[in-house]
Amino acid sequence: VKIAVFASGSGSNFAAIEQACSADELNAEIVLMVTNKPEAFVVERADKVSIPVAAIRPKDFETKDAYEEAILHALRESGAEWLVLAGYMRLVGPVLLMAYPSRIVNIHPSLLPSFPGKDAIAQAVAHGVKVTGVTVHLVDEGMDTGQILAQCAVDVVSGDEDKTAEAIHAVEHGLYKDTLNELFSR
């Protein structure tokens, strides 16, 4: 299965997916890494493992549709069949949703529908919940609202955002790999 990974940040999920593909633990090949942030650390990670990068900045386009058309062009050239979002901090718009119906997946650091959107871990700690977690879901037009594919609970380390984040990230990589494997073998 040919996949494009979308990321805007440090890219630990990108790296985990890439390693799983290389080790034949994930039945997929990353044909493109798409980022809206050319300066993100994930770009260095992709370069290091020789995965082509499409760094496309929204502000270079007049509309969101034009921005996504540019991404779509790169995706078509790469042959990507699925889009895997891993810390892509933008809402996916109609151009990509229509081009990849039910073929866009995201990972979110909370038990959705609790704490959608930005800073989900901080929100959970601030709210004082005892259990939060990780959700893998299909992407629709909403903010973290698509069909839930898998979830895993993680205990909140009381009042400690950093330790809670560490525990969440430790769970993310394995959960994403397992869920993608299941999805791609359907």
Catalytic residues: 108
Q: Select the residue whose beta carbon is closest to ligand GRF and give its number.
A: 87
Which residue(s) pair with 137 in the sheet? Answer: 106, 148
92 labelled ligand-binding? yes
Residue 7 is a binding residue for ligand GRF (CB under 6 A): yes
Q: What is the DSSP annotation of 58-120?
A: GGGSSSHHHHHHHHHHHHHHHT--EEEESS--S---HHHHHHSTT-EEEEESS-TTSS-STTH
Are 119 and 146 a contacting pair, CB within 8 Å? no
Contacts (CB under 6 A) with ligand GRF, residues 37-96: 86-87
Residue 107 is a binding residue for ligand GRF (CB under 6 A): yes
Strand, coil or helix: what is 132?
strand
Q: At what angle do helices 41-48 and 12-22 cross, to 10 degrees?
A: 20
Contacts of residue 167, defined as CB under 8 A and 6 or more positions apart, other chains included, come to 154, 155, 157
Among 2, 9, 29, 122, contact with ligand GRF (rule: CB under 6 A): 9
- The stretch among 62-70, 74-82, 105-113, 145-153 that binds ligand GRF (CB under 6 A) is 105-113
Among 12, 19, 145, 181, contact with ligand GRF (rule: CB under 6 A): 12
Nearest distance in Å: CB 62, ligand GRF: 27
36 labelled ligand-binding? no
Select 97 or 105, whichever has its Cβ closest to ligand GRF. 105
Residue 109 is a binding residue for ligand GRF (CB under 6 A): yes
Nearest distance in Å: CB 173, ligand GRF: 8
Token digits for 165?
């984040």
27 labelled ligand-binding? no
Alpha-carbon distance of 37 to 107, in angstroms, equals: 19
Q: x/- binding map, residues 147-186, to ligand GRF, per CB under 6 A?
A: -------------------------x--------------
Residues 116-126, buried b or exposed e (16+ Cβ, 10 A)? eeeebbebbbe
Nearest distance in Å: CB 158, ligand GRF: 20
Alpha-carbon distance of 91 to 178, in angstroms, equals: 24
Feature table: binding site: 11-13, 64, 89-92, 106
